[in-house]
C-alpha cells in the first residue's frame, strides 16, 4: 500500500507521524500510545476558571500568542477539566482583514503533543499544522510559530490536528472572522454574532473518559449530552426590535450535525464555508456538519423571547435564547433584508459549469467502514435505513447516538474507516498542479459495514464548489472546504487547485479521522507538460 508520500520527501521522520492511524497500525500503535497506566488527567481542582473568549483584532503583520493549558470549566451542576487556548473555551475570537498576514506563536502546556490547523485558510503549506507532513508535533512544553494569510473573506477556525477526538472535544477550538477588503461584500446587518456549535459528553459530573492509547466511539463519533454554544450551555443574547443579526455558525463538535432554526424570526442564508452564497435565500434552518460554516441573517421582527434551536427528527434542543426589547433597531434594515443579493463571482462560475456537470469525474473516492467487532450483528442499526418516519437516522444523517454502548466500545482497532479509490481499492494517490481544476466524485457506500454521513474536508490546497448531489445540480453555489455527504449519497465537487504543497483530505468526524479516514495528496508548483 502506498504511504501517500511517493515523490515527496518526508520532512519529518516517519516515527513522528502519529497522525496516520490506520495506514501503519503496528508501527503507529507502538509509538503513539502513552503509557497505558497513565490516564489523561480529569481533576479540575486548582486550575484557573475558564474565561469568556477575548476578541482580538490584530492588524497586518502583527503577532498573536496562543497558549494551550488546562482550565476548570463550570457547566450546569458540574465543574470539569478542559483544555483551552489562552484560558477560554472557545479560544480567542480573531477578526482580521482579508489580505493581511499574521504570526501566531503557540505554546503547548496541554496534556499531549499537538499542532494547530487553521481550518479553511488557503495559507502557505508550511503553516498547515499537519503533524508529519508540514511540521513535527509541538511537544508538551514546546513552541511553534505559524504564519497565516487570509486570501478569502468568511469565517474560519482553528483546532489541533492530533488526537482531536480528545483535544478538540476538550475545548481546543477558536474562530477567525476575515473581513472583506470590499466593504459592500456582505449585505447590511446590525451586528455580527459568531457562535461555535459544540457538544460535550458528561457522565456523573465528569467528562466521559478517554483512552490515551486509542480512540473510542470510533463507529459514530462521540456525541455529547451537554451543548456548548459559544462555549456556554445556555447563552442569552439581547436584540432590538427589527434588528438584523448576522449569525456566523461553525460546527466544532466531534461528530454532531446541527440543524439550526429560530422559530418566529426570519432567516436568510447569505454565506457558507468561504464567503458569500451565489444567491441569498430565505430558509427555515441551516444544516451544519462538523467543521462546516453557515452565515445567516436573522431578522427579529417584534419584542419577545426567541430560541436558537437545534431541531432533529427525534427532538429539539435550545442552543441559545434571544430576548428582543421594544426599542426599534436603527437604522431600519427591513427593506435591505427583504432584498435578495448574491455573489457576482459565483454567478460567473455558474455560467461556466455546464461542461463540468457533463464531464466524467477525474477522481472518485468511496467511503467505507470495515468492522471487526467479533460478531456479525451491529445492534440492528441497519433497520433504520429507508424509514421516513421520526428516526435518529432520518435524511441520511445520524442525528443521535442510538447505540451508545456499541459505539463507546468501538475503537480505531475494531473499526477501520477508509477513503479508497474504487479503481484500485487502495488509498487514493493524487497529484495535482496549481491552476488545475479537478472534478471529484464522492461516493458514500451504502454497502459499507456501517453506512453513515461523512463531512469530507480538503485542506487549503484550494477550495471547491459542490456541482451536484445524486446527479441533481446544486442550486446555490458557495466556495467550500467541507461537504456533508449523506448516507448513500454521491456528491460531485469542482476543486479549484491554487496552493502547492502536501495537503490532507479527511472526514471531519474526529473519531473517523483517527480511525484512518484520511489521506495526503500533493500539489505541484505549476502545471507541467505531460510526461
Q: Which residues bind ligand C2O (CB under 6 A)?
A: 117, 119, 159, 161, 291, 457, 459, 504, 506, 508
Q: How far is the CB of 431 from ligand C2O (least distance, A)?
A: 19
Sorted by sequence, the CB contacts under 8 Å of residue 11 that are 6+ apart come out as 133, 134, 135
Q: Rule CB under 5 A: choose which of 17, 277, 364, 509 binds Cu ion.
A: 509
Please state the closest distance from residue 130 (CB atom) to ligand C2O, in A.
7
Q: Which residues pair with 304 in a beta bridge?
A: 324
d(CA 147, CA 134): 13
Which residues lie closer than 8 Å to 191 by C-beta, 6 or more apart? Answer: 239, 243, 244, 245, 246
42: which 3 cell numbers? 480529569
The least distance separating ligand C2O from the CB of residue 480, rounded to whole angstroms, comes to 13
User: Which among Cu ion, ligand C2O, none contacts residue 291 (Cβ within 5 to 8 A by kind)?
Assistant: ligand C2O
161 binds, among Cu ion, ligand C2O, none (CB under 5 to 8 A by kind): ligand C2O
Residue with smaller CB distance to ligand C2O, 215 or 291: 291
Nearer to ligand C2O by C-beta: 489 or 514?
A: 514
Residues within window 438-457 making contact with Cu ion, judged by CB under 5 A: 454
* Cell numbers at 156, concatenated: 474560519
> Which residue, 312 or 487, has its beta carbon nearer to Cu ion?
487
Element (H, E) at 409: helix 404-409
Look up residue 490 and give its three cell numbers. 454521491
Closest approach, Cβ 46 to ligand C2O, in A, equals 32
Q: Rank residues 197 and 504 by Cβ distance to ligand C2O and give the closer one.
A: 504
Residues 6 or more apart whose CB falls under 8 angstroms from that of 531 comprise none
Q: DSSP string spanning 336-354?
A: HHHS--B-HHHHHHHHT-H
- Looking at the Cβ atoms of 244 and 507, the one nearer to ligand C2O is 507
Q: How far apart are the first and last CA of the chain?
A: 24
The one of ligand C2O, Cu ion, none whose footprint includes residue 119, by CB under 5 to 8 A per kind, is ligand C2O
274 binds, among ligand C2O, Cu ion, none (CB under 5 to 8 A by kind): none
Q: Could you tell me the smallest distance in angstroms from the CB atom of residue 517 to Cu ion?
A: 5
CA atoms within 13 A on the CB side of 255: 26
Q: Which stretch binds Cu ion (CB under 5 A): 130-138, 302-310, 357-365, 505-513?
A: 505-513
Q: How far apart are CA 477 and CA 277, in angstroms?
A: 6
Contact (CB, 8 A) for 54 and 93: yes
80 vs 250 by CB, closer to ligand C2O: 250
Q: Which chain residues interact with Cu ion by CB under 5 A?
A: 454, 507, 509, 512
Amino acid at each position: 500500500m502506498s504511504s501517500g508520500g511517493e515523490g515527496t520527501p518526508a520532512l519529518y521522520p516517519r516515527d513522528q507521524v502519529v497522525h496516520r492511524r490506520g495506514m501503519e497500525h503496528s508501527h503507529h500503535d507502538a509509538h503513539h500510545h502513552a503509557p497505558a497506566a497513565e490516564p489523561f488527567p480529569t481533576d479540575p481542582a486548582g486550575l484557573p476558571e475558564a474565561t469568556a473568549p477575548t476578541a482580538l483584532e490584530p492588524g497586518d503583520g502583527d503577532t498573536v500568542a496562543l497558549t494551550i493549558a488546562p482550565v476548570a470549566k463550570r457547566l450546569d451542576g458540574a465543574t470539569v477539566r478542559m483544555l483551552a487556548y489562552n484560558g477560554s473555551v472557545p479560544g480567542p475570537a480573531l477578526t482580521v482583514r482579508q489580505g493581511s498576514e499574521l504570526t501566531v506563536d503557540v505554546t503547548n502546556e496541554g496534556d499531549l503533543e499537538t499542532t494547530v490547523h487553521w481550518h479553511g485558510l488557503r495559507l502557505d503549506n508550511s503553516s498547515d499544522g499537519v503533524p508529519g507532513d508540514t511540521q513535527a508535533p509541538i511537544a508538551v512544553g514546546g513552541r511553534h510559530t505559524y504564519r497565516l494569510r487570509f486570501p478569502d473573506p468568511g469565517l474560519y477556525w482553528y483546532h489541533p490536528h492530533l488526537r482531536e477526538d480528545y483535544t478538540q472535544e476538550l475545548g481546543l477550538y477558536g474562530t477567525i472572522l476575515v473581513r472583506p477588503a470590499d466593504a459592500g461584500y456582505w449585505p447590511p446587518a446590525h451586528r455580527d454574532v459568531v457562535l461555535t456549535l459544540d457538544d460535550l459528553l458528561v457522565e456523573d459530573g465528569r467528562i466521559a473518559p478517554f483512552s490515551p492509547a486509542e480512540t473510542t466511539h470510533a463507529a459514530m463519533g462521540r456525541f455529547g449530552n451537554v451543548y456548548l454554544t459559544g462555549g456556554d450551555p445556555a447563552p442569552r443574547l439581547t436584540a432590538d426590535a427589527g434588528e438584523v443579526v448576522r449569525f456566523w455558525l461553525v460546527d466544532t463538535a466531534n461528530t454532531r450535525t446541527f440543524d439550526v432554526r429560530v422559530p418566529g424570526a426570519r432567516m436568510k442564508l447569505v454565506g457558507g464555508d468561504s464567503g458569500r452564497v451565489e444567491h441569498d435565500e430565505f430558509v427555515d434552518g441551516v444544516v451544519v456538519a462538523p467543521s462546516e460554516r453557515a452565515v445567516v441573517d436573522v431578522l427579529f421582527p417584534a419584542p419577545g423571547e426567541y430560541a436558537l434551536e437545534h431541531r432533529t427528527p427525534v427532538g429539539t434542543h435550545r442552543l441559545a435564547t434571544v430576548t428582543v426589547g421594544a426599542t426599534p433597531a436603527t437604522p431600519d434594515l427591513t427593506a435591505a433584508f427583504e432584498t435578495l443579493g448574491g455573489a457576482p463571482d459565483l454567478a460567473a462560475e455558474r455560467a461556466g459549469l455546464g461542461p463540468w456537470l457533463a464531464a466524467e469525474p477525474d477522481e472518485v473516492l468511496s467511503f467505507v467502514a470495515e468492522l471487526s467487532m467479533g460478531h456479525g450483528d451491529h445492534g440492528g442499526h441497519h433497520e433504520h435505513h429507508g424509514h421516513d418516519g421520526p428516526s435518529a437516522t432520518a435524511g441520511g444523517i445520524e442525528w443521535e447516538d442510538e447505540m451508545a454502548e456499541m459505539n463507546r466500545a468501538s475503537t480505531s482497532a475494531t473499526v477501520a474507516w477508509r477513503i479508497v479509490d474504487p479503481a484500485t481499492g487502495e488509498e487514493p494517490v493524487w497529484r495535482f498542479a496549481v491552476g488545475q481544476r479537478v472534478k471529484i466524485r464522492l461516493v458514500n457506500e451504502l454497502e459499507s459495514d456501517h453506512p453513515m454521513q461523512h463531512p469530507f474536508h480538503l485542506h487549503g490546497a484550494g477550495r471547491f464548489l459542490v456541482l451536484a448531489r445524486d446527479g441533481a445540480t446544486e442550486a446555490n453555489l458557495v466556495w467550500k472546504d467541507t461537504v456533508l455527504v449523506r448516507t448513500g449519497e454521491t456528491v460531485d465537487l469542482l476543486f479549484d487547485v491554487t496552493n502547492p504543497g502536501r495537503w490532507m483530505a479527511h472526514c471531519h468526524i474526529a473519531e473517523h479521522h483517527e480511525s484512518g479516514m484520511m489521506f495526503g495528496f500533493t500539489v505541484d508548483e505549476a502545471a507541467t507538460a505531460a510526461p
